[in-house]
Structure 1
Amino acid sequence: MTTRRAFASVLALSGVAAATSLSGIGLARAQEAGGTIERIKAAGRLRTAAIPGSEPFFHKDILGGGWSGACVDMVKDMAAALGVTPEIIEAEWGTSVMDLQTGKIDIMFALSPTPARALQIQFSDLAINNAFTVIAKKGLSVATWDDLDKPEIRVAFDTGSSHDIFVRRRLPHCTPVAVQSPTDAIMALQAGRADCVVQVVVIAAVMHARNPAVGDLVLPQPVVHQPTCIGVPVSPDPRFLTFVNNWLLYNRSEGIVQEWMFKALRASNVDPASLPPGLEF
């Protein structure tokens, strides 16, 4: 037989359990409501990835181990706006989306917003309106993209990048030569393992400036523009992406993004005036 006192005890215990459960739910919701910006500020750091051999976006000092480049200037400026310290993690283009998904990094600069990627992460507004170009071996005539879409033409590109996606979509009949980095693609051309390299123009211009004898820098027709954006993890809190877009709008309208890009290009011995028209920073 249940006594009134026992029944009261059961009610009391149930109340404690319910309160504990509700407090746990409330804490989880509070943490979620805090969002990405609060998490970054609490950690005191804004983490991004950098890819070796991807000038002018990223440049690694082999001797000192430090990083420079347009995207490094960007993350430093954004971290300062958030009141935190920038943290740069070495990675590859092919793993950058996964790094965002798994929480290894908070943000990734210089990413192309492909539909497949957009199903996995979120993208900012346009940061750079790039264009695809070719570094072709001496003697190889390239006027249009169709000139490269042949089985006998070996096209080098770095795996997992926008170059990779573009070559497989636009040049389905070529012989693909997939390598790890943009620098490796140039090495494949130098070694005779490839007939040409496909890269966006700002990277190709740097690679060509290092060794003009490697081949001819060509802008095949029709010009294929490549939008470059900033990637962030998917989140129910829209404020971080809103912040990124506002930061981008301000720095583009003030010409600061262009300053960062021109500075990085000049550091790689590329005259910005030599770039083809139509690029937007």
Structure 2
Amino acid sequence: MTFMKSKLMAMLFAIMAMFTGIAAHAQDQSTWDAIKERGSLRVGVTQAPPWFYKDPLGTEWTGVGAKIGQEMAKTLGVTFEPVEVTWATAIAALQANKIDIQFVLDATPERALAVDFPSQPLLYYALAVLADDDLQITNWEDLNKEGMKISVSKGTTMEAYITENLPNAEILSFPDNAAALAAFQSGRVNAVCLFHPPLITMRKNVGRGQIVIPKPVRQTASSAAVRMESDKRFRDWVNTTISYYYETGQTQKMFEDFLISFDVDPKTVPAIRREDW
């Protein structure tokens, strides 16, 4: 009886040691080596056109972020593995080793405490307006007029910027982007202010309006977040790759290809290369 009990305990400890070893291996293994061993590149995706989009009736992810992930996987000789996250959970997913990379996540000092970023920006977007078609807008000053009404989400960078720079316009603040858009859709305001990519879907839904990036341009760079680790091979490769895509115009083409598939004319939408603004 004692012998059998000892044998069972030994087997139990052996199994525990095996799983502990596997977990330690997964934890210690670099992202670069893990991708090669697993045979897939795990990319965080979330329904957010033009970056990520999956038709409700389909299974394939499209959009700029998905396309870049697919191209990277092809170069690495592995499969593209989309993993659904939200913008709020993407960093935790990286830290927990659920994904290898999250595209279109802005590099901020706070985020850089938790994850790593390549030095090369992925793309650029700018503060813009979806405005009435009959308005002539080149500069922010063109909106700085009495009788001009602009909606914006409360407590945002957009609200702070236009409140300071458009003192003559009437700024209407709403709880979220959807409410700010609804004000434009109903004709309560002449324009809604956001960073320009989300305005693409908004204009498509509303069916009218022009997207304009007024000057001086208030731009923001977006990036690709990766796990923070001592082995920098994957981060450095990502840096080289997104730089190549950007400089050769491939990132912009991915953006335009998605717009066309989304039934949006690329000529009516500001670019994501700041050199093209």
TM-score (norm 1): 0.69
Deviation larger for 85-94 or 182-191: 182-191
Matched, 1:51 2:53: no
1:235-270 deviation digits (Å, cap 9, x = unpaired):
111111111012123323333222211111222233
Q: Classify 1:71/1:31 alpha carbon distance in 2 versus 1 (closer, same or farther; 3 Å).
A: closer
Q: Classify 1:128/1:195 alpha carbon distance in 2 versus 1 (closer, same or farther; 3 Å).
A: same
Matched, 1:201 2:196: yes
1:92 to 86, 90, 96: 86
After the TM superposition, which residues 1-281 of structure 1 pair with which residues of structure 2 at under 5 Å, given as runs?
32=28, 34-52=29-47, 54-124=48-118, 125-136=120-131, 144=140, 154-156=151-153, 166-167=157-158, 170=161, 177-179=174-176, 186=181, 190=185, 197-213=192-208, 215-276=209-270, 279-280=274-275
**RMSD value over aligned CA atoms?**
3.7
Please, which runs of 5 or more residues in structure 1 have no aligned partner? 1-23, 158-163
Query: Aligned residue for 1:3?
Result: none
What SS does structure 1 have at the residue aligned with 2:58?
coil
Question: Which amino acid is the alignment partner of residue 59 of structure 2?
Answer: G
Contact map agreement 1:51 1:93 (CA 8 A) in 2 = yes
CA distance in 1, matches of 2:84, 2:243: 27
CA distance in 1, matches of 2:240, 2:202: 32
Question: Which amino acid is the alignment partner of residue 119 of structure 1?
Answer: L
CA distance in 2, matches of 1:257, 1:208: 22
Question: Which amino acid is the alignment partner of residue 105 of structure 1?
Answer: I
User: Which structure has the larger Rg?
Assistant: 1
CA distance in 2, matches of 1:95, 1:69: 20
Q: Classify 1:194/1:89 alpha carbon distance in 2 versus 1 (closer, same or farther; 3 Å).
A: farther
CA distance in 2, matches of 1:169, 1:68: 33
1:166 Cα deviation from its structure 2 partner: 2.7
CA distance in 1, matches of 2:275, 2:133: 30
CA distance in 1, matches of 2:261, 2:78: 27
1:50 Cα deviation from its structure 2 partner: 1.8
Contact map agreement 1:155 1:194 (CA 8 A) in 2 = no
Q: Classify 1:219/1:65 alpha carbon distance in 2 versus 1 (closer, same or farther; 3 Å).
A: same
Question: Which amino acid is the alignment partner of residue 41 of structure 2?
Answer: L
Q: Which runs of 4+ in 1 moved over 6 A?
A: 27-31, 137-142, 172-175, 182-185, 191-195
Q: Classify 1:70/1:276 alpha carbon distance in 2 versus 1 (closer, same or farther; 3 Å).
A: closer
1:62 Cα deviation from its structure 2 partner: 0.6
Question: Which amino acid is the alignment partner of residue 49 of structure 1?
Answer: G
Deviation larger for 168-177 or 103-112: 168-177
CA distance in 2, matches of 1:156, 1:165: 6
TM-score (norm 2): 0.70
Contact map agreement 2:151 2:184 (CA 8 A) in 1 = no
Contact map agreement 1:156 1:188 (CA 8 A) in 2 = no
Please, which runs of 5 or more residues in structure 2 have no aligned partner? 1-19, 165-170
CA distance in 1, matches of 2:116, 2:69: 17
Q: Classify 1:29/1:98 alpha carbon distance in 2 versus 1 (closer, same or farther; 3 Å).
A: closer
- Share of identical aligned residues, percent? 30
CA distance in 2, matches of 1:144, 1:109: 30
Q: Classify 1:144/1:36 alpha carbon distance in 2 versus 1 (closer, same or farther; 3 Å).
A: same
What SS does structure 2 have at the residue aligned with 1:222?
coil
Question: Which amino acid is the alignment partner of residue 152 of structure 2?
Answer: V
CA distance in 1, matches of 2:27, 2:45: 29
